[in-house]
């Protein structure tokens, strides 16, 4: 199978940790694999970014798990091309499943160009959407409080 990158990574995202598999195509068509675990604090995410840049990572595939992918994506997108992948599209074979196996599977699929990127709007649009959602929630809360006050006064 054709390899799309010389160095790429796959990241399995969880609430408290990230499991990362970096694949490097060596001379003779061998693939060198390195697996690391990082936390989800800002310091750990910056360490992840530094490691990926130092390794010369050309692209990263990231599993979209709940909302936990957002800080990772936002931090990495400025330095490394990031592909957000729907978890349903990369399901591995049934059976025993670990975080290490997941990140290896994601990296392997990404190395061969077999993952399809989810649509992520540009940063400005994402920020505008967040502001609009917050405004909508505040307006709904204001209406609820006004209705409660009217109910008590009647």
DSSP characters for 99-127?
A: HHHHHHHHHHHHHTT---BPP---HHHHH
Examine residue 27 and state whether it is found in any structural domain, yes or no. Answer: yes
Taking residue 79's Cβ as centre, other Cβ atoms within 10 Å add up to 13
User: Is 9 a residue whose pLDDT tops 80?
Assistant: yes
Examine residue 1 and state whether it is found in any structural domain, yes or no. Answer: no
Model-wide pTM > 0.85? no
Q: Are residues 129 and 62 in the same domain?
A: no
Structure tokens at 36: 């690391």
| Per-residue confidence (pLDDT) for residue 44, from 0 to 100 | 95
| Per-residue confidence (pLDDT) for residue 95, from 0 to 100 | 61
State how many domains the chain has.
2
Q: Are residues 92 and 108 in the same domain?
A: yes
Of 4 and 138, more confident: 138
- What mean pLDDT is reported for the chain? 90
Domain around 39: 7-120
User: Is 96 a residue whose pLDDT tops 60?
Assistant: no
- How far apart are alpha carbons 105 and 9 in whole angstroms? 10
Q: Provide φ and ψ at 89, rounded to 5°.
A: -80, -15
Examine residue 2 and state whether it is found in any structural domain, yes or no. Answer: no
Q: Are residues 104 and 125 in the same domain?
A: no
């Amino acid at each position: 199978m054709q390899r799309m990158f010389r160095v790429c990574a796959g990241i399995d995202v969880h609430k408290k940790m990230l499991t990362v598999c970096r694949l490097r195509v060596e001379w003779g068509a061998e693939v060198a694999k390195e697996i690391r675990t990082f936390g989800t604090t800002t310091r750990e995410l910056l360490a992840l970014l530094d490691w990926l840049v130092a390794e010369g990572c050309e692209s990263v595939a990231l599993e979209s798990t709940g909302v936990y992918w957002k800080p990772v994506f936002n931090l990495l997108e400025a330095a490394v091309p990031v592909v957000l992948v729907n978890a349903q599209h990369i399901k591995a074979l049934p059976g025993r499943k670990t975080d290490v196996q997941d990140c290896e599977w994601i990296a392997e699929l990404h190395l061969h160009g077999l993952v399809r990127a989810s649509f992520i709007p540009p940063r400005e649009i994402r920020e505008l959407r967040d502001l609009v959602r917050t405004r909508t929630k505040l307006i709904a809360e204001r209406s609820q409080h006004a209705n409660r006050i009217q109910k008590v006064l009647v």
